[in-house]
Chain A
């Protein structure tokens, strides 16, 4: 998503908040029954975020969605720290969609912007501290001592020779009034925060019992596969479903706003039914568009001025006076998120309720959207958040596209339906990271120092035309320019100007892991490398000079350089590239070491340094850095969505390639020790990778690649 300030501004003005909801528990599968029952019978529920049962079991309710980023572990750590809980007694579930679980200070429950840990850092610790205070009070009464005489440790309250397990205290604690403003532990006393802690969702993810949206099954649930427009903006002219209805297991065929749904007893019948469906489409204007002409349109726009995202002094005059100028055009393609779990959503509509089972990052918007489609009130829509088989932003659509469609299908069918996307539907279904073109003209003075910077960015707006439209101010969608408009390299210059063009196209676009930074990180850190070489400086030294006043940038840069052996010669045939980028309140630097094998880039090692402030779970941070690097490598080496006659050319993992085991480099992660407030983690590892790789390629071959995916020319 975008910057905190603009997001908060939107959330204040949007009025998208749903009403207060009845808290409900869903038991998704038999193997979870026991734990869910324990939660349901919990004797002590001091706040919305935890329940303690008489047997001592502690149930944490997550206000955010687990999609791999490890929030299932990091948020419980915050509660357990203040509660002095027995970590082995913790279990976790996704909270229902309800006002209690809206993000801190916002009228909306969602997961995005690498925000979960830092925005919950206080609320989840307070939830634990409040519960602890009540347990201590209950124990003090039981022991006949003052609360101050009690201490807590590993799930017990202890006073002198007296001791009680939390479970023994829940009945008494439940009768007490929660205190306000309970003090939090001094950081020096933390036992859990800062300790590498293993994931709590491992067991169910290694024995097949974890329930993703795709795994929702219940009696009477049908499956739908939808024939969607082959070109964005196309509409159904007519369709012939006679052959589809002949397929054994097909129950119904219904037109819905997004296409034609084939509804069947099971997936395979629905899929065969869709194959047999004949739909005639009114293709619309985009059927005439190709990737090349879109890129040409963008490059033309980049030659002119647009709305200004950042400005100081007079860049044009300063450029005219520069001793040396460097001009570069960069281009990046549309990208699909391609999470491993194809999109899906199960919906059951009754007279006064709508139940939804899905992996979503946007509960509140989905709830409001489902209410609109069904005519129910938002509080009559229950959302059961399942594990997300990857999100990367695709499950955070402002339009709730896959949820709205599934509700439309269930409504049309008059029966409970799970709508399932195939991989082809996913790759061709849009909501891509927008394609971008950048044009930069950078002026150097006679001493080779940066003097002026003009930067133009062209690409579709994610916020434009969405319910987040009001976040666009003076023509600037900050998600398009973040990483450039606020770049320290540019902001420090007395003469700079960053312009944005946001052409409208019918291609649905969306935030993809690291959002604007997914392109600006590559462009900025490639440009800085170009400037270093143009002035005959070592890329590390050049950055050190520019970032002298930016301590946290410098810290990760130096750490990554040191750990990677920067300055020492790499093995024969190898070269290194370096990049550093701030995003989501954290700082990451990476050094990539590569060679060429059979004319293609072989990445041997990526050394990553991360400064995310207080490292709540260093184990999770290391995993997320590894994950971000791989995600960035996939985009740098392979990722591209292309259009021909308006049709997406890629369709599945064979032609929309992602990194595989045999291409996997060694990844080393180093965390900067810090007492700064926590920053983001989930997306921060992505932005520097492509630039580090491109810069290594330049060091190795002298070829400067100004587009992604990177190409090696003979």
Chain B
């Protein structure tokens, strides 16, 4: 049994220690906003927060996060009102949408660490998140916009 707090709710899960956190989140906690894209920390679709820092859930064994606090896209806000979500909506970022939970979680973590990121900061923080639809230009603009919204 592993005890884990996800989006503020502490639960016990009967899963093997070496199971990646991603599958606990998706198949046991039934939170499907966090996506499976590559299984080897190459695409960032599975990005969640561990105590506020970004984490690739697909390569993180549940044993490494036992007793800790995880936030998924579902826990970011109750009504898509987080400044990053607002900026994403304002700039019409999404296309197929599959990678966007991960993009948003990476962007939120970036803005927490650097409230006013430069383009180079965005490159460094967001290059681990692949978008096959090619929304990068809008992701970049939306990160800058979210920084403004956060200040307001």
Contacts and interface: CB of A to CB of B under 8 A. Distances in A.
Are A and B subunits of one complex?
yes
Interface of A: 66-70, 198-199, 201-212, 214-215, 217, 223, 248, 266-268, 338-342, 387-392, 420, 422-424, 619, 623, 626-631, 652-654, 658-662, 664, 666-667
A340 B45 contact: yes
A471 to B, nearest CB: 28
B130 interface: yes
A478 B12 CA distance: 58
Given A70-B95, A198-B92, A208-B101, A653 B42 contact: yes
Contact of A666 (B31, B96, B137): B137
Contact of B38 (A223, A631, A653): A653
A208 B37 contact: no
Contacts of B52: none
B26 interface: yes
A-B pairs, top 3 by smallest CB distance, nearest first, are A208-B33, A630-B134, A389-B98
A387 B132 CA distance: 15
Contacts of B99: 340, 389
A3 to B, nearest CB: 25
Given A340-B133, A390-B133, A659-B134, 10 more contacts: A206-B100, A207-B76, A208-B31, A208-B33, A215-B32, A340-B98, A387-B98, A623-B135, A627-B133, A630-B131
Nearest to A627: B134
Contact of B123 (A212, A387, A623, A661): A661
Given A203-B89, A267-B23, A654-B42, A390 B96 contact: yes
14 contacts: A66-B96, A70-B95, A203-B80, A204-B97, A205-B94, A208-B32, A215-B32, A340-B98, A340-B131, A341-B37, A424-B39, A626-B134, A661-B123, A666-B137
Give the most central of B85, B95, B123, B139: most A CB within 10 Å. B95
Contacts of B95: 68-70, 623, 627
B83 to A, nearest CB: 12
Main DSSP-derived SS at the A contact region:
loop
A390 B94 CA distance: 12
A210 B97 contact: yes
A67 B96 contact: yes
B5 interface: no
B80 A206 contact: yes
B20 A268 contact: yes
Contacts of A340: 35, 37, 43, 45, 96, 98-99, 130-133
B39 A422 contact: yes
B80 to A, nearest CB: 5
Interface of B: 16, 19-20, 23, 26-28, 30-40, 42-43, 45, 72-74, 76-77, 80, 85, 88-89, 92-101, 104, 122-124, 126-140
A652 B38 contact: yes
Contacts of A67: 96
Contacts of A217: 27, 30, 32
A267 B31 contact: no
Contact of B23 (A208, A211, A268, A390): A268
Give the most central of B34, B39, B98: most A CB within 10 Å. B98
Given A207-B73, A653-B38, A389 B97 contact: yes
Give the most central of B31, B77, B80, B133: most A CB within 10 Å. B133
B97 to A, nearest CB: 3
A204 B37 CA distance: 19
Contacts of B122: 661
Nearest to B58: A423
A458 B148 CA distance: 53
Given A661-B127, A661-B129, A666-B137, A341 B73 contact: no
Contacts of A66: 96
B66 to A, nearest CB: 16
Nearest to A70: B95
Contact of A205 (B100, B124, B136): B100
A388 B97 CA distance: 9
B32 A661 contact: no
B134 A629 contact: yes
Contacts of A339: 96, 98, 132
Contacts of B133: 68, 340, 390, 627, 630
Nearest to A264: B27
A142 B26 CA distance: 53
A414 to B, nearest CB: 21
A202 B34 contact: no
A214 B35 contact: yes
A394 to B, nearest CB: 11
A248 B19 CA distance: 12
A626 B135 contact: yes
A206 B98 CA distance: 10
Contacts of A342: 36-37
B23 A661 contact: no
A201 B135 contact: no
Contact of B132 (A211, A212, A658): A658
A205 B97 contact: yes
B149 to A, nearest CB: 14
Contacts of A204: 97
